[in-house]
Chain A
Amino acid sequence: MSIQTFMQHMVNGISLGSLYALLAIGYTMVYGILRLINFAHGDIFMIGTYIAFYGMTAFLLPWWAAFILALVLTAAFGIALERLAYRPLRRSPRISIMISAIGASFLIENLAIVLFGGRPKAFPIAPVFAKIFKFGGVSVVSIQLIIPVVTLIFLAILVYIVNHTKTGMAMRAVSKDYEAARLMGIDVDIIITFTFGMGSLLAAVGGVLWVLKYPQLTPLMGMMPGLKCFIAAVVGGIGSIKGAVVGGFILGLGEIMIVALLPSLTGFRDAFAFVLLIVILLVKPSGLMGKTTTEKV
């Protein structure tokens, strides 16, 4: 493999990895606080892209306004989902709440098919995102440069919130010990709402960047990325925000590199994420950057 080919693969892998990372953060935050795999996270991401799409096509907003609208409404959507589908089950066995998440995902997808139609929609891309640069033999589209930058900016903001604000402290407290946090006077409901809002907002950011790179919308577009990003979160260490980003990059680069190095295995590319997941779970169940927890008796 020539150096140019390798660089091209790296560029492709980094932009894919950044997108995975943005989605994985949402999974990891919700899991850290509620111990819930939010199966509907991929569908929240899908809703975000449709909001941006209709903002630009039906309401003729400029792209930046449509994107902001998408972030705000998607965060609201995520909060509403938590209120309706998860909050009533807060005291139920973990299995019930997980099934509720799968059911919610199922409902959102079926609704989307009725509301938006099954045919794919082409996302209108502002020219600024579609400039192609050539460095030697390596081709880079401007959006591929924007994606990692945006990801890192949001990661920085989030780490700041979690580590240096009162809200962040409360979030950490709730994820450590839900009951104790409540007894210490933390309004757990508000914190959970905030977490869902943040996670959904990041899903919308991921969604908008996603359709700028892969400009088509379908009601089921969130399924596979959703599943893979949860895996990324597990690989990085569930509950750890930095871990989610690391996991996202490992997954994105890994998927690209397996095709690059072993072209005969391209048909198995989708299985890579799952194989990686199982290996990690068997070797280090807490993930690369997660903390080992012991089961309380």
Chain B
Amino acid sequence: MKKNKKKNIMTLIALLLFIGFLAIADRIFDSYQMRIINLAGIYVTLGLGLNLINGFTGLFSLGHAGFMAVGAYTSAILTMSPELKEMNFFLKPIMPFLANVEWPFFPALIMAGLMAAIVGALIGAPVLRLNDDYLAIATLGFAEIIRVIFTNTQTLTNGALGLKGLPSFNNSFPYSFVYWSWGTAVVMIIGMVLLIKSSYGRAFKAIRENEIAAEAMGISLFKHKMMAFVIGSFMAGMGGALLGHLVGTIDPLMFRFLMTFNIVLIVVLGGIGSITGTVIGAVVVTVMLEVLRVLDGAMDFGFIQIQGIPGLRMVVFSALLMIVIIFYQRGLMGTNEFRWEWVTSPKKTLTNAWNNRKA
């Protein structure tokens, strides 16, 4: 009991420190660094959604980009001013009932999540009966179908032209965007921890370990799979909306399979089934992609100069990724989570890790 109280206090302090960090970062960093921090925060939300579906419940879904598209478009259409919409929809006017809608960001963000969750429920109902590979390919198929539909609905999404001028919500309120991106991420992290610790979370894990045994124990497969899928879709929708507002413009091509793959990558790198891992994975991947940019330019090692090879960055990045996949299959964290004991008794932690290195 006493120990718990101590940990809670530490957690609270950590949270306050983090908010402090964001406030300081907002002051002293330039926009480029802030953008990377923002992106990392958004990827945390997106990664957690996918990890809930893939990592904790063991449903291999590859449809994340589709739900992101639903969320991004919902939020964009709801928050853009009527004048902006008129400017964007210069080929065909937008549907009349959406033309004069202008919501503040917060309700639009929640709505984006809800729309994605509804679509998730509609898709989940038929496909969740399928097992691994079939489910993967069916969800991928649905994501593509969503994209093709958005490309063809000129009066709803502006089709291939995309939408431009999404409100950035930067510096509105006393907040800058970083409070939206990381605020959402923090709420999602807390929500995930509570969910995974609850009886639902235990049921998810049971389904992941062995469906048949879980069902025999009286766990309703459909109910729990659906729940994980819908909550994951909700997070994808919110993440998609945040991403849209960060970039300021969206179009259907943004949400190709490559987008899903980026998120899968974050989850795999961090550890399938670890919340801590996803957070670390999101930060590492976002930062890495920027750090590796030097590879595309000309490099000067003092004694030798290399002409820039365009595309080298992505080759190195994908090669590093393959190395991680093949040699560290469990990712950085495996299914472990951060524990205060690591900080309070590091020696013990390291000894344990050393003793269990083979496991």
Contact = CB atoms under 8 A, between A and B. Distances in A.
Q: Is any CB of A less than 8 Å from a CB of B in the complex?
A: yes
B-side binding surface: helix, strand, loop or mixed? helix
Given A270-B148, A275-B145, A282 B137 contact: no
A271 B144 contact: yes
Contacts of A113: 311, 314
B321 interface: yes
Contacts of A103: 265, 318, 321-322, 325
Interface residues of A, number: 42
Interface stretch (B127-135, B181-189, B192-200): B127-135
B322 A104 contact: yes
Nearest to A106: B318
Interface string B197-221: 0000000000000011000000000
Contacts of B99: none
B133 A98 contact: yes
B87 interface: no
A95 B272 contact: yes
B133 A281 contact: no
Interface in A92-125: 92, 94-96, 98-100, 102-104, 106-107, 110-111, 113-114, 118
A271 B329 CA distance: 34
B312 interface: yes
Contact of B149 (A92, A110, A271, A277): A271
B319 interface: yes
A107 B261 CA distance: 12
A89 B327 CA distance: 9
A198 interface: no
A225 to B, nearest CB: 14
A87 to B, nearest CB: 10
B261 A102 contact: yes
Given A92-B329, A104-B322, A35 B133 contact: yes
A274 interface: yes
A113 B134 CA distance: 30
B142 A234 contact: no
A141 interface: no
A267 B153 CA distance: 10
B152 interface: yes
Given A103-B325, A285-B134, A95 B141 contact: no
Contact of B141 (A84, A85, A274): A274
Interface in A42-77: none
Contacts of B134: 234, 281, 285
B37 to A, nearest CB: 26
Nearest to B312: A114
Given A268-B148, A268-B152, A110 B322 contact: no
Size class of the B contact interface (CB-based, 8 Å) = 35 or more
B138 A267 contact: no
A107 B145 contact: no
B264 A270 contact: no
B80 to A, nearest CB: 24
B131 to A, nearest CB: 7
B315 interface: yes
A278 B318 CA distance: 31
Most chain B Cβ neighbours within 10 Å, of A98, A110, A270, A297: A110
Contact of A94 (B133, B144, B314): B133
B54 interface: yes
A91 to B, nearest CB: 10
B178 to A, nearest CB: 30
A107 B318 CA distance: 5
16 contacts: A92-B329, A99-B264, A100-B322, A100-B326, A103-B325, A107-B315, A227-B140, A234-B134, A268-B152, A270-B144, A270-B148, A274-B141, A274-B145, A278-B126, A285-B134, A295-B211
Interface of A: 31, 35, 37, 84-85, 88-89, 92, 94-96, 98-100, 102-104, 106-107, 110-111, 113-114, 118, 227, 230-231, 234, 267-268, 270-271, 273-275, 277-278, 281-282, 285, 295, 297
Given A95-B60, A113-B314, A285-B130, 9 more contacts: A31-B133, A37-B137, A94-B133, A96-B329, A114-B312, A273-B141, A278-B127, A295-B131, A295-B212
| Among all A-B residue pairs, the 6 with the closest Cβ atoms | A274-B141, A107-B318, A271-B148, A110-B314, A267-B152, A114-B311
